[in-house]
Chains A and B, each alone.
Chain A
Amino acid sequence: MRATPLKCFTSLAVLGLLVTGCGQGLLGDGGGGQTAAAKDEPIVLGMLIPQSGSEAAIGPYMSNAAQLAVDEINAKGGVLGRKLELRTADDACDAQSAAAGANKLVTEGVDISVGGYCSGATLPTLPIFGKAGIPMIIPAANSQELVDQKLKHVFLINGTGSQQAAAAEKWIAKQGSGSVALMHDNTSYSKDIALRTQALLEAPGGAEAVITEAVTPKESDYSANITNVLAKKPDFVYWTGYFQEGGLIARQLWQAGYKGSIMVGDGSVSPKLVEIAGDEAAEGLYATMTQTPDTLQGAEGWIEAYKKKYASEPGPYSNQAYDAVRLAAEAVTKAGATDGDKVIAALEAIDGFQMFSGPLKFTPEHTLANGGFQILVVKGDGFALQDALK
């Protein structure tokens, strides 16, 4: 079919009508009362997660948990008499795909964003959602760069890079380690934690950061990097990237005869890490991590519900994704509308909302007042709590 100018014009006009129609539905009439049409329409939650690319494994954990929360809330009658609906889009852990996915969600008329895993991919989506007046509750991405934008529609419910670095430094000091090697994968999230930890270690008296080594993600062989690291004779290695490389690095350190401690950041906390590293290499490996279903008292019921529905264990960041949806529902209830500004005000006012990571209150920067990082240790084939760092 050849598109004539007239056809182009009419389709554009129809599109325009649709978009403005959507806009009205989105923003409401500003008076707090919902229009008749909006009353029956679902409240749409948008979730950007990696469904393809290197971090594709994480996406389903997060969307499953979010869907679980949506279903639970809908079973109780929804929010403001309206049902919730979850729409996901793929960010492939990559800036360009994330921007495209965010635009797609915006045109689909999303009311609140509850996604964001890779910080490097989440960063470019902030202005896209911001321009459309959509509040963002980011469940997993936690680079300080997200906070430094100082955007009022952005809320982080995972501890930030600086909080994680502080926890890491605290544990390194507790262990009495002398020389620390920091390893990161050059992504926004990972580099941030490594450099912040390095800065904290520069304070006199404690351990010394002897090397900060960057690796290329998605490779299999890190022996060249490990040779560099071991040449500095560290007794503590802190890897701040994701679990795929983390497992390989732990294994290759062990194969190279390294006997000191290894610690990984929260992006590496996954049973797969232990599997990839192998039992001998993973045993006794530490991790800086926020609360997880496994280390949480009273989460057994939730784990059961998740297993029943998806026939698998809740993976990393499933609890944060679940909390993000519940928090979005709470904020809309408090605001009495899905209007962006009102939801933001409601989120800022929240105090003591119960999440997996504890009662929630946002700092003026829209991060968790209590970062809640703790130290886990690998025992057998999973992570167990080592030190709550209270």
Chain B
Amino acid sequence: MTQLVWNGLFVGSFYALVALGYSMVYGIIKLLNFAHGDLYMLGAFAGFAILGAVGGVSSSMALPLLLAVLVVTMVVTGLAGVALERIAYRPLRRAPRLSLLITAVGASFALEYGMRAVAGADPRVYPVRLGGTSMEVFGARFTVQQLVLVGVAVALMAGLNLLVTRTREGRAMRAIALDPRTSALMGIDVNAVISRTFFVGSALAGAAGVMAGAYYGKIDFMMGFLIGLKAFTAAVIGGIGNIPGTMLGGLLLGLLESFGTFWLGGEWRDVFTFGVLILFLTVRPTGLLGERVTERV
């Protein structure tokens, strides 16, 4: 049982990291950024390219090196997110919501198949792997590396929470989320804040991508698709647009999947997961911690 909880929390922390970007972008411009999962994929590939450029390293240096790569990758995917917003979303900001949604789907495919054209369809394997033998505590098996990854995820989320609740930047984001036009009248540079929101959200997805690449080893151009849907589900469960809610949603989704697999069997895992999504959308579309009445797209 403890094993199930641990599995769920571990996977859930990845979901939460990716879901945050979804939630922030939705919160600020009411766009479901379906290309968000592909920024996770982009992060995994960027990390792969950087590690390849650095060359061989001894395994004792693997963890510090990975943390350095993580930071560089976050900058890269952050900028990619900004570019995505600039090219695909900003020209359509005044267009009907549906056009934006369709553009997001198009952007997702463009990123996936663009990466396939660049890196090929073959899955790649990370040159630096976080493996390590596991230890057992209270009947649950885990590795030190897993703990480090969860620690990094928690630190990133805590940092984000501080950014949004305690800084001028965060206040501007929240103001725009409430009313972009009034915020502009108050002297907030709305475009710049939206760009920075995309930067932060995409950087978090990129961080999750590098962590997944280093832990699981395998990366491929389609890896963002399913996790994008899962992250969306996590955001809906917790309350899309609500940051603590999204973190909670990610962890809950991880636990739901872990226990769902145990109770119902592996083939029901996704049925169960997306069934929960439908349930939330019909019964409580604002999610567990969401307060604002969200508009459904």
Measured CB to CB, the residues of A under 8 A from B are 51-54, 56-57, 59-60, 186, 213-216, 218-221, 223-225, 227-228, 244, 247-248, 251, 255-257, 272, 275-276, 278, 280
Contacts and interface: CB of A to CB of B under 8 A. Distances in A.
Interface string B96-126: 0000000000000000010010001111010
Contacts of B38: none
Given A56-B116, A57-B121, A272-B125, 14 more contacts: A54-B220, A214-B266, A214-B267, A215-B266, A218-B225, A227-B3, A248-B217, A248-B218, A255-B134, A256-B134, A272-B122, A276-B123, A276-B125, A276-B217
Contacts, number: 100
Contact of A213 (B212, B216, B225, B266): B266
Contact of B220 (A59, A221, A244): A244
Contacts of B267: 186, 214, 216
Contacts of A216: 226, 266-267, 269-270
A57 B257 contact: no
Contacts of A257: 134, 141
Given A257-B141, A278-B131, A244 B116 contact: no
B266 A224 contact: yes
Contact of B216 (A54, A220, A256): A220
Contacts of B45: none
A186 B267 CA distance: 7
B261 interface: yes
Contacts of B217: 247-248, 251, 276, 278
Nearest to B267: A214
Report the interface size class on chain B.
Answer: 35 or more
Contact of A227 (B116, B123, B226, B262): B262
8 A-B pairs with least C-beta separation? A56-B121, A214-B267, A224-B261, A57-B122, A220-B216, A275-B125, A223-B7, A214-B266
Given A216-B269, A223-B7, A272-B122, A244 B262 contact: no
A280 B113 contact: no
A322 to B, nearest CB: 20
- Looking at chain B's contact residues, is the secondary structure mostly helix, strand, loop, or mixed? helix
Contacts of B14: 221
B131 A256 contact: no
Interface of B: 3-4, 7-8, 10-11, 14, 113, 116, 120-123, 125, 129, 131, 133-134, 141, 143, 212, 216-218, 220, 222-223, 225-227, 257-258, 261-262, 265-267, 269-270
B142 to A, nearest CB: 9
Nearest to B125: A275
B270 A227 contact: no
Contacts of B113: 52
Contacts of B131: 251, 255, 278, 280
Nearest to B213: A220
Contacts of B121: 51-52, 56-57, 59-60
Nearest to A244: B123
A51 B3 CA distance: 39
Contacts of B133: 255
B11 A221 contact: yes
B265 A223 contact: no
B223 A220 contact: yes
A195 to B, nearest CB: 12
A214 B266 CA distance: 5
A278 B129 contact: yes
A213 B257 CA distance: 15
A49 to B, nearest CB: 11
A216 B229 CA distance: 14
A244 B218 contact: yes
B19 to A, nearest CB: 15
A224 B269 contact: yes
A227 B7 contact: yes
B7 to A, nearest CB: 4
A224 B125 contact: no
B137 to A, nearest CB: 13
10 contacts: A51-B121, A52-B113, A57-B122, A214-B265, A220-B227, A225-B266, A227-B3, A247-B218, A276-B218, A278-B129
Contact of A224 (B123, B129, B257): B257
Contacts of B122: 56-57, 272
A59 B121 CA distance: 9
A219 B261 contact: no
A220 B227 CA distance: 9
A220 B7 contact: no
A213 B10 CA distance: 21
Contacts of A248: 216-218
A334 B94 CA distance: 67
A227 to B, nearest CB: 5
Contacts of A280: 131
Contact of A218 (B7, B10, B222, B262): B222
Contacts of B123: 57, 244, 272, 276
Nearest to A223: B7
A272 B120 CA distance: 14
B88 to A, nearest CB: 21
Given A52-B113, A224-B266, A244-B123, A218 B11 contact: no
Contacts of A57: 120-123
B196 to A, nearest CB: 29
Contacts of A272: 122-123, 125
A122 B84 CA distance: 37
Nearest to A281: B131
Contacts of A278: 129, 131, 217
Contact of A220 (B129, B143, B212): B212
Contacts of B141: 256-257
Nearest to A252: B216
Given A278-B129, A278-B217, A227 B266 contact: no
B69 to A, nearest CB: 18
Given A227-B7, A227-B262, A219 B226 contact: yes
B268 to A, nearest CB: 9
A255 B266 contact: no
A215 B267 CA distance: 6
